[in-house]
Structures are given as structure tokens and as C-alpha cells.
Amino acid sequence: MMRSLWTAASGMKSQQTSLDTISNNLANINTTGYKKERTEFQSLLYQTIQNKTTDTEGNPKPIGAQVGLGVKVAAISTEFEQGEMTASTGDFDFAINGSGFFMIQMPDGSTGYTRNGNFVMAINGDGGMTLTTSNGYAVLDSQGQPITFDANTDISKLQFDNYGNIFLKNAQGVIQRTGIRIGAAQFNNPSGLTKIGDSYFAESAASGAARIEGQDAALKVSVIKNGYLESSSVQAVDEMVDMIVTQRAYEMNSKAIQASDEMLQQANNLRQ
């Protein structure tokens, strides 16, 4: 009976983690570029009660007797499904349709990655303009350099194609290529990326090195749409159903603990 107490306790702890994950999904249901997270479970060790078992006539049976010792959270994985593209009024809002991530220069000089394309133009130290995130972090081009324009550039004349290439319409109305392309990177295992908050990811050994679109010919190039943002991939109905299932599982494990406690109490009250 003590075994059942610890087994059910492991179930309650795991279901609590699952509920924490669901809560985070629901909290980010309107977060631009957010990707749904899923809790994955794994059974714990099994205790062998009997190596050999027999039937009532003493004949050996082909199976032994083992009892499981509970469950644990094996991983909390991120599902990188494409979110819905929603129209935006921002002049420098972008949405990625594909497997790419925007490349961002973090304060420590490292490169962060995000699906949140809510960008703005900010004045830089040279008096020009730099394309940045809402946090003020510079957006990088396909060469890993901040996307900047000098003070003489009329940013209202900038235009973008569906692959992040930037063009400029001059005073004569002629559209010219600037030679700048919004950078996008892909990973062999995006689920291995490290979450660092504010919708940013960092490269890790599990994710593999970043593969830059336009430099790696084996990659399928993502579509980068100006005037759109990628909505969260969280579906409220699915999360509500998962929350109910999790709550019921938590409740059943608590009932198992209560039943074990009552059985132990009855055993302790036995008299000769």
C-alpha cells in the first residue's frame, strides 16, 4: 500500500506540471508567433514481484508479475506548427510562412531567434534608422548584420517582396534593390532550441547550428509577408479539453492516495 501512495503522488506531480504547461499556453493565446507546448510523460521503473508465475495447476505461465512505480514528465516539447497569418497595420510587421526564424541581435551580442515579426524603425547612434524588435534589439539580415539605413533614406519608400528582400523607390519613382534581405534561419531540430523569454529562442547543442536561408541551398526558403503577423498556434478549445482531462487525472490520483490511506488505517486497527 505504501507503493500505491508514492505511485499516485508521482501522478499528481506530473499532472500538476501538465496543468502548468496548459496554463502557459492559454496565457499566450494572443502572443504573436507563440508555439504551443506539450507535456510528455514516461513511466518509471517496474518492481518485479515474481519472475515466474504458474496457474492453479502449477503450470508455468509465459509472463511474470511486475508492478509499475508511477510516472514522470519526460519532456515539455514545443510544436512548431504554422500559426494563422493575420493582417496588421504596422509598416514593418512581418510574418514567416515556413520553417524559418527571424534573427535578432541580443544585448550580449549573441543571436536570438523568434517568430514574432512585430518590428519598428528606431533611430540609431549614427542618426540613421535601424529595424528593431519592440524591445529595441536589431533585426539581422541574411549576412548576420543589423538592418540599417542612413539618415538620407526615406523609409516610407521602402518596399518588401515575399522573401524579405528590401527595395527602395527613389524620387523618380524607380524601384531599386538595396541589396539587403531580412535574415531567416532554420534548425534541424527546432524543438531543441532553448527558450530565453520574450518570445526569443537561443541555439543549443540539441537544436544544431543555425542554417541561414539563402546560403544553404538545401533549405526550402520561407515566405516573409510584410503587413502580416503570425498568430499564436494555441487553440483554446483543445487547451480547455486538455485541462479537463488533466484535472480528472489529478483527481483520480488523489483518490488513490485517499484509498491507500484508508486501507492503511484499517490495517493499523486490526486486533488479534
The pLDDT value recorded for residue 1 is: 59
Cα angle: 70, vertex 71, 74; to 5 degrees: 155
Of the given ranges (24-38, 158-172, 177-191, 246-260), which has the lowest mean pLDDT? 158-172
Of the given ranges (4-13, 46-55, 72-81), which has the lowest mean pLDDT? 46-55
In the chain the first and final C-alpha atoms are separated, in Å, by 21
DSSP 178: E
What is the rounded CA–CA span in Å between residue 151 and residue 22? 47
The pLDDT value recorded for residue 238 is: 96
pLDDT at 244 over 80: yes
Mean pLDDT of the region 200-218: 94
**Nearest-CA neighbor of 190 among 105, 103, 99?**
99
User: pLDDT digits over 21-70, tens only?
Assistant: 999 999 999 999 999 999 999 999 888 887 777 777 777 777 777 888 99
**To 10 degrees, what angle do helices 2-27 and 236-268 make?**
160
Whether 92 contacts 119, CB under 8 Å? yes
As beta bridge partners, residue 68 has 46
| Nine cell digits for residue 93 | 510587421
Of the given ranges (4-18, 52-66, 179-193, 207-221), which has the lowest mean pLDDT? 52-66
Of the given ranges (33-37, 123-127, 236-240), which has the lowest mean pLDDT? 123-127
The pLDDT value recorded for residue 50 is: 76
Average pLDDT in the chain: 92
pLDDT at 272 over 60: no
The pLDDT value recorded for residue 59 is: 78
- Provide the 3-class DSSP secondary structure of residue 192: helix
| Nine cell digits for residue 97 | 510562412
pLDDT at 133 over 90: yes
Mean pLDDT of the region 235-253: 97
pLDDT at 126 over 90: no
